[in-house]
Amino acid sequence: MDEPFLRQLLFDVSKGDCDPDDAVRRLRHLPFADLGFARVDHHRALRQGFAEAVYGPGKSPEQCASIVVELLDAGSGPVLLTRATPDQVASASQAAADAGYGEASVTPTGEASVTPTGGASRGAARGATGSLSLAAWRPAPRRPGRVLVVTAGTADLPVADECRGVLDALGFSPTLLADCGVAGVHRLLASAQELQDADVVVVVAGMEGALASLVGGVTAAPVVAVPTSVGYGASLEGVTALLAMLASCASGITVVGIDNGYGAAFAVARLLR
């Protein structure tokens, strides 16, 4: 239950279009809805401005579908299903369509390896199998804010795509600058004006993660750095890039977890609220 939904409910009660008992029944679900296998946090949109997302790994397609429909029923803002397998997306899409919420926009976000417990983990660089996607229903209206998403290499695009898909669902229109790593720094400097004009820059980089420091030194905009698991042995599946970004000499860089394009997008949304 988000703020627009709550305002409309109170308005309907005041106009006599909604029975007070019915309003009380709806408000009983305000803290959370207990689905047995999950407690869906309906209060989060009021606290933070955005509803909780559905994290696909470890959930069955049926569980994903139930949570997605519950979130759609109880609010008016965007609903996201992240790191989802094709079966999870298909199940949630069918359930949402049956409930009258239409089709989801689906953004491919890379590959995943299947774990013994039936969940999925990021693992494109480790012989992974199976595709992951971001599914989004009921995107927010367009909002101001010039967001630039910069990748060090083409291999970083799956994480950048996750970030861009979430940003788009939240109402932003991010611009992508791909393959601008420090091994060919002239590629980044060719877009120096775009870096200067941005309100927020997201830097997605693996290997040694140096791109975040470089971008942080040439723009006054807040920089959100996303280390990725891309790289050779000494990159330690993203740990090297993570530590480099945390130790950056460019002051004030925000760093999220390895491969966490979703978290980077929400950091941007908090900055630009």
For residue 225, the model assigns a pLDDT of 97
For residue 191, the model assigns a pLDDT of 87
| Residues 7, 111 within the same domain | yes
- 95 is a domain residue: yes
Q: What is the pTM for the complete model shown? A: 0.81
Residue where the block lists tokens 């660089």 = 125
Beta strands 54-55; 79-84: pairing state: parallel
Closest C-alpha to 163, from 237, 256, 247: 256
* Domain hosting residue 216, numbered range: 147-271
For residue 74, the model assigns a pLDDT of 79
The CATH number of the domain holding residue 259 is 3.40.50.1970
For residue 87, the model assigns a pLDDT of 95
- 24 is a domain residue: no
- Output the CA angle 137-139-145, nearest 5 degrees: 150
Residue numbers in the chain where pLDDT is lower than 50: 113-118, 123-129
- 195 is a domain residue: yes
For residue 43, the model assigns a pLDDT of 64
Q: What are the tens digits of pLDDT across the range 25-66?
A: 766 666 766 667 776 777 676 666 677 889 999 999 999 999
Half-sphere exposure of 251 (CA within 13 A, CB side): 0
Which of 87, 118, 137 is the endpoint of a domain? 137
For residue 33, the model assigns a pLDDT of 67
For residue 128, the model assigns a pLDDT of 38
What whole-number distance in Å separates Cα of residue 98 and Cα of residue 81?
Answer: 17
| Residues 131, 177 within the same domain | no
Pick left, alpha or beta for residue 238 (phi over 0 → left; psi -120 to 50 → alpha; otherwise beta): left
| Residues 155, 102 within the same domain | no
Which of 106, 137, 168 is the endpoint of a domain? 137
